[in-house]
Chains A and B, each alone.
Chain A
Amino acid sequence: MSQAALHVRDLCFSHGNSFSLSVPSLTVEPAERVALIGPSGCGKTTLLHLIAGILTPQFGEIEVLGQRVDGLADSARRSFRARRIGLVFQEFELLDYLTADENLALPFRLISQAPNQEEMSGRVQNIASRLGLQGLLGRRPAQLSQGEKQRVALGRALVTGPGLVLGDEPTGNLDPDNARRAINLLHEQAAAERAAVLVVTHDYSLLDRFDRIIEFDGLREVSE
């Protein structure tokens, strides 16, 4: 059993005749910060979805935090994702009818054995204070700036204490200053939770903030 946060081996995924993805090997250590770069359409997002268990590979192994996710049943995969993997999206994808604190607490609604109300509230307050969101908790997404929305999205990804955080161009909608601030926050908070971070990005100015950069070479293989 591997101790890595993420271990991918001989992964193959194809979608019809037009798209195929092959990843011979990819490993991310606990608390490691890894950037995934490559041209548009090369399959970076697909790889993140395979790792998160949103998609299922035809061949290969995906092991997240010691758990083989590729062989899990749908429901078990969803449950594992909700509990152990944090996801941050380019469009933030906050629910517009929830306030910031309700968006932060949303992952608890999706897991079957959620902590009690007091503990949940404590976790939300804790993550909100770490991300500087205390004064914004009662606001809905429409009342937040882009940077504030991204901080809420980061908090939502981290609030359950995941071992692996996956980011799909999380700074794509932010200006350079806010993008750097968001990446710094992601790294700080992930480090506090001892979570590994794997981020797809096109923003090369942020690459110095990562421990390791993986260039995704076409649709074929991963070169480290």
Chain B
Amino acid sequence: MRSAWGLAWLRIRRHPVSTAILVLCLGLTIALPWTGRVLVADYRTELLIRAADTPLVLGERGDRFDVVLSALYFRNGRTSFIPFPATDRFGAEAPGVVVPISARAAAQGAPLVGTTLEYFEQRGLRISTGDFPVYAGEVVLGATLAHTLELGVGDSLFSDVTELYDLAVPPALKMRVCGVLAPSDGADDGAAFVDLTTCWVLEGFAHGHDDPAEIDPEYVLGGDETGLVISDALLAYQEITFENLADFHDHGDPERLPLTALLYWPASEKDGTLVRTRVNQRGNYQMLRPVEVVDELLAYVLRVKQLMDGLSWVLGTVTLALGALVYALSSRLRDAEFRTLRRMGCPPSFVMRLVVGEVLAVFLCAVIFAAVTTYTVRAALGDLTGWLR
């Protein structure tokens, strides 16, 4: 019995190129649906875990996917607008914890999220080195982002200027890295967090400059006791430091200060239901349960996966048919070998085991190849929800 398997193994070893091609074809056929299945499962788990950790999200009326994805994954946060004072108004009628999120800015390609310290507490985020951002101009980095940018406490992070040709948009702001978060295996690992004032500075709703009383009269173009008109030649501060922190201010209506969404952890399920119903009846905002929205999103993903599975079956059948053809043709070429073995006294079952052994060995190698491919792709892709940002 072992002799036939041994002979099969010898033959495979002595025909490495043809065996490798067969293993590659079969392995990729197995790897494709396998990788799809593993990635969809991981993706589903990641999405649902984060969604389940966030009971309710308040956002502007409109596309529910945009609201939830921007609040949870900081994706395209400019599409949703909630005025900052809504936080207090909403907090007054909603027992529990309300956390504002502003995910409208970016820094070196990563989302720059403005929030309050409650966010870190609710998400269970811990500091690895340094501290949470307490003052404007301070930034705390997610673990992956800090690793990618090779930044640590004391380094500087520059915000991205999204509108290069809009002169009204402030230039890049230099922020001081005050801490790095411990890894959390979620969207927070790839983001940077600042306080809300920093976000508004980045969007031009607040700024800092020298005291007008001490400005060189050359820069004063006009004005009266209600205010001064100052030349653009007087540049606003491009870095918030402890020295100039007090000079930062906003001139406009607080109702204009933008947020992307409010995350709401109700005191009880009943409170959550009551508040949600009330908000949705009122109609000026929408309150969403992220789990429901993510489930709906996953239904689309799973539909695409079913299509992929179908295609994989077709591909697999074609590959197996081609493999069978290869073995059928190779058996013809090997007629002389099989005839010799039979003449020497080997039973037909020996030849059968020889061929089956080869097929099994190729299949086993293909499965190993597919497993390695699947888990390599999985490891290489890392954070599957990264594309949402």
Which A residues have a C-beta under 8 Å from some C-beta of B?
52, 54, 75, 78-83, 85, 87, 89, 91, 93, 95-98, 102, 106-111, 114, 140
Nearest to A107 among chain B residues (CB) is B344
B346 touching A97, Cβ below 8 Å: no
Whether the Cβ atoms of A82 and B14 lie closer than 8 Å is no
Question: With contacts A109-B3, A110-B3 known, is A98 near B10, CB below 8 A?
Answer: yes
A91 to B337, CA, bound (A): 12
B11 engages A97 (CB within 8 Å): yes
Give CA–CA (A179, B369) in the complex, Å. Answer: 50
Return A192 CB to nearest CB of chain B, in Å: 21
Question: In the complex the two chains form, is B10's CB within 8 Å of A110's CB?
Answer: no
Say whether B344 contacts A82, CB under 8 Å. yes
CA distance A190 to B340 in the complex (A): 21
Chain A residues within 8 Å of B4, by CB? 109
12 contacts between A and B (CB under 8 A): A80-B345, A81-B345, A82-B344, A89-B343, A91-B336, A93-B340, A95-B340, A97-B11, A102-B10, A110-B341, A110-B344, A111-B345
Write the chain B residue with the least CB distance to A54. B343
CB-CB nearest in chain A for B13: A97
Q: Scan B1-42; emit 1 where CB is below 8 A from any A CB, else 0.
A: 001101100110011000000000000000000000000000
Interface size class of B (residues with CB under 8 A): 20 to 34
Given contacts A95-B337, A109-B3, contact A81 B15 (CB under 8 A): no
CA–CA, A110 and B346, complex, Å:
5
CA distance A80 to B345 in the complex (A): 8
CB contact between B345 and one of A82, A91, A95, A140 (< 8 Å): that residue? A82
Name which residue of chain A comes closest to B3, CB basis: A109
Contact among A75, A93, A97 for B10, CB-based, below 8 A: A97
Report B-chain residues with C-beta under 8 Å of the C-beta of A109: 3-4, 6-7, 346
A82 and B346 alpha carbons, distance in the complex (Å): 7
Q: Lowest 8 CB-CB distances: which A-B pairs, in order?
A: A82-B345, A109-B3, A97-B14, A81-B345, A93-B340, A110-B346, A78-B345, A97-B11
CA distance A87 to B6 in the complex (A): 23
A89 and B340: CB pair below 8 A?
yes
Taking CB atoms, residues of chain B closer than 8 Å to A111 are: 345
> What 4 new A-B contacts, CB under 8 Å, besides A54-B343, A110-B346, A114-B3?
A78-B346, A89-B340, A93-B343, A107-B344
Contacts of A114 in B (CB 8 A): 3
B residues near A (Cβ < 8 Å) are: 3-4, 6-7, 10-11, 14-15, 336-337, 339-347, 350
Contact between chains at A87 and B15 (CB < 8 Å): no
Give CA–CA (A91, B350) in the complex, Å: 22
- Residues on A with C-beta less than 8 A from B341 are 110
For B3, the chain A residues whose CB sits under 8 A away are 108-110, 114
CA A79 to CA B344, docked complex, whole Å: 9
- From B10, B339, B344, give the contact of A81 (CB < 8 A): B344
Report the Cα distance A91→B346, complex, angstroms.
Answer: 19
With A93-B336, A110-B350 already in contact, the answer to whether A87 and B10 are too (CB < 8 A) is: no
CB of A87 within 8 A of CB of B344, answer yes
Rounded to whole Å, the gap between the CB of A113 and the closest CB of chain B is 12
Q: B14 to A140, Cβ gap below 8 A?
A: yes
Bound-state Cα–Cα, A38 to B353, Å: 39
- Expressed in whole angstroms, the Cα–Cα distance for A111 and B344 within the complex equals 10
**Complex: chain B residue closest to A78, CB-CB:** B345
CA of A141 to CA of B346, assembled, Å: 21
In the complex, A161→B344 CA distance in Å? Answer: 14
Task: Report Cα–Cα, A54/B346, bound state, in Å.
Answer: 11
Distance (Å) between the CB of A128 and the closest chain B CB?
A: 18
* A93 closest partner in B (C-beta): B340
Q: Bound state CA distance, A114 and B2, in angstroms?
A: 12
Task: With a 10 A CB-CB cut-off, give which of B10, B340, B344 has the most chain A CB atoms.
Answer: B344
Inter-chain contacts of A97 with B (CB < 8 A)? 10-11, 14-15
Bound CA–CA A176/B94 (angstroms): 106
A residues in contact with B15, CB < 8 Å? 97
User: Chain A contacts of B345 at CB under 8 A?
Assistant: 78-83, 85, 107, 110-111
CA distance A96 to B10 in the complex (A): 11
Chain B residues with Cβ below 8 Å from A95 are 337, 340
Bound-state Cα–Cα, A109 to B11, Å: 14
Q: CB-CB < 8 A to A140: which residues of B?
A: 14
Find chain A residues with CB under 8 A from B339 CB: 93
B349 (CB) vs chain A CBs: closest residue: A75
Distance (whole angstroms) from the CB of B264 to the closest CB of chain A: 70
Residues of A within 8 A of B340 (CB): 89, 93, 95
**Alpha-carbon distance A80/B3, docked complex (angstroms):** 18
CB of B14 within 8 A of CB of A87, answer: no
Q: What is the minimal beta-carbon distance from B4 to any residue of chain A, in angstroms? A: 8
**CA gap between A107 and B340 in the complex, in Å:** 11
Which residues of chain A have C-beta atoms less than 8 A from B7's C-beta?
A: 109
Q: How far is the CA of A106 from the CA of B3 in the complex (A)?
A: 9
Rounded to whole angstroms, the CA-CA distance of A79 and B343 in the bound complex is: 11
With CB as the reference atom, state the residue of chain B lying closest to A85: B345
